[in-house]
Structure 1
Amino acid sequence: MPPELLVLSIVIIVALAFDFTNGFHDTGNAMATTIATGALSPKAAVTLSAVLNLVGAFLSVEVALTVTNAVVNIQDSTGAPRPELIADGGELLLMIILAGLVGAILWNLLTWLFGLPSSSSHALFGGLVGATMAGLGAGGVKWVGDGTKLDGVVGKVILPALLSPTIAILVAAVGTWLVFRITSRVADKYRESGFRWGQIGSASLVSLAHGTNDAQKTMGVITLALIATGHWTDLHGVPFWVKLACALAIALGTYIGGWRIIRTLGKGLVEITSPQGMAAEASSAAVILTSSQMGFALSTTHVATGSILGSGVGKPGAKVNWGVAGRMLLAWGITLPAAGLAGALMFWLGSLIGGLAGPLVVFAILLALSGWMYAHSRRTRVDSRNVNDEWVEDVTQRTLPTPTESKKAGSRR
């Protein structure tokens, strides 16, 4: 196998691995509240979410084209790919993409380990921006568009990151307040049972919306790698096999279920009820679908978390765990720079080693660190059996049940 084809294969494998981590990292965005209220069993919820993520991935390519065209400044003045990026079988661009993906996966796994619902999208963009700056300088990043529309990293990534959670909080808060206002004379048990059916429908819509936004980000990355090696030349299209592979990868990740993050969103942020859950999920779906149609590569995690916070603010007498919310906000704030730094370090390391050995060493580092984090996670397991256990704040296990609690949960099955 020619070296450039081997590196391309590694990049595609790592991209699909990122898509898989995106799936289990973001399952909670759609299903955390549904699981927390008992509207669906944990396994049924992740299965439904996986199927709808698979379907949603085929509904649009606007976000995929954003990733292909709005991060790395790949075009020259004629609109063709820049020669230095596709020279030598696309070696430079492939190294940038690989380094960016590794930075994103490592951040995804680290935040998953601590049960923090940070943004997979921002991890990806941070990793790509950091690797691009390391390889091409700041000018290699497409920061803004041509001035006639919102484009580039600022218009398609940063602005949606700032606006989307704020909008979601407001919409969910107003929706929750209206729900409880309108149903104030309905007995709690009837209100809960009635809204659980609505929750299933709204959670399904969020899963569909997640597929239309997040699966496409990996489609854009793989398409960028194919452009680098000359296997694809259309900057406004995505190969069908790429769509299929990415849809399957994110669906499988969603089915595995990111139980640590589901637990944080469902039990650690707000003690949520079915009306709140339905309001939160409906708000998330509306914001995500609108943004996907406009090509904004927003963070579905930010939107879903903002909606859950809004549902807590909008319910009279509800309590929000602001300590957990504060840790989430901290993770949000450092995701882009942390993933960017990791992407830059991976690029520098791969370039320093050079040749075929560079990408192989970076790939080996990814495997080693991922394996260590997975092994560490087994010390305090969170799964479908204990995801709904009572939330206990602890100095050493802030967002997770203790091993004793996990055993008790397992024995109850």
Structure 2
Amino acid sequence: MNEVAQICSDLIRFDTTNPGSGERPAAEHVAGLLSDAGIEPTVFESARNRTSVVARIPGDSPEALLIHGHLDVVPAEPADWQVHPFSGEVVDGCVWGRGAVDMKGTLSMTLALVRDWARRGVRPKRDIVLAFLADEEATGEYGSRYAATRHRELFDGCTEAISESGGYSVQVPDARIYPVAVGERGTAWMKLTAHGVAGHGSRPPKDNAVAELCHALSRIASYQWPVRLTPGVAALIAGLADILGETIDYDRLEEEAERLGQAGALFKAQIRNSANPTMLEAGYKVNVVPGTATAHVDGRFLPGYREEFLETIDRLLGPKVTREFVNIEDAPSAPLDAPFFGELRAALIAEDPAARPVPYVMSGGTDAKSFADIGIKGYGFAPLMLSPELDYYGMFHGVDERVPVEGLEFGVRVLDRLLTS
């Protein structure tokens, strides 16, 4: 097994489920791999066993690039998988396990590359800061947020960053598209509370908190958010139209997304804000009307549309339901016209002449939000060449997560071109 696949397998075998027992053993393993290559790691904890690793590799320019990724993974139920999710087995040319795609495969590409540099005596064209972080699969409080605030000095000189959810191949007829993320939707996780009058379940209702909350949730769930085209999504759609050689109707984008299949999936969830009720709790006995009822809503808003999103939510809630934030993070964006975006495109095309890179806006969120708060522009760039048969989207937090060994090798070559050419 080559080194990148071996590193990926080894990382997967560390059960870093979040919530769980923490990332410390995996972080210590990463620190050891760096130390073996002559790279001095800084290891720190934000809480017991919530461990992150940061290291700097000197380059020809002090203007630094941050490469960050997370060590934690979401839970996996072994009974649902064909291969045990923490085995790291290589089957049919793929490394299997929780985190193979999200995102221990990407970490393994970075580690394999810098270890190869050490063996060959290669120096990158600018300082590289590596960050292997805890807690991305929650809020980042114990990982990226802690690192960016309590250890800000480790990121001095970083102007741009790359991380997950971009740079992977999407096969369409006669073309291989590589979306490169230039932004992501903001996060507004909210707890809603309705207050009413407690009483006997047999009496006529008076300010029934459960009913008030259900009405508010129904209004939120059924609301049709208006289409809002941000620069990144507009550029993506224009790029897809050019690659596919056809017109995309901007007045029917939802239908067009369905029609275009995998290509349309790149913008389907990125043309609107969204708010999904996810948790509901009220009452303790069938014949008692409770005085309060609570719910949680996962809200996401496009770059530049935070205020519109919150004003709409408040209108839909009505006067008897209040909200508080469980987590609120702005929607970061990075410039499309920056020279660095051109470098990302060029690195992909150099390794895959059939590559057609396009800008992309993530529907979810990453640790890029924390680093945007300290002025670092983040791009989603974890290069992978994937087989068209692999359901890349379905493997995020899904069962039978796996990454092709050849895809990992491709990613190492692309990163090498990006960072040294």
- TM-score scaled to structure 1, two decimals? 0.25
- TM-score scaled to structure 2, two decimals? 0.25
Compare the two structures and name the one with the higher helix fraction.
1
Compare the two structures and name the one with the higher strand fraction.
2
Higher relative contact order (CA 8 A, sep 6+): 1
Whose radius of gyration is greater, 1 or 2?
A: 2
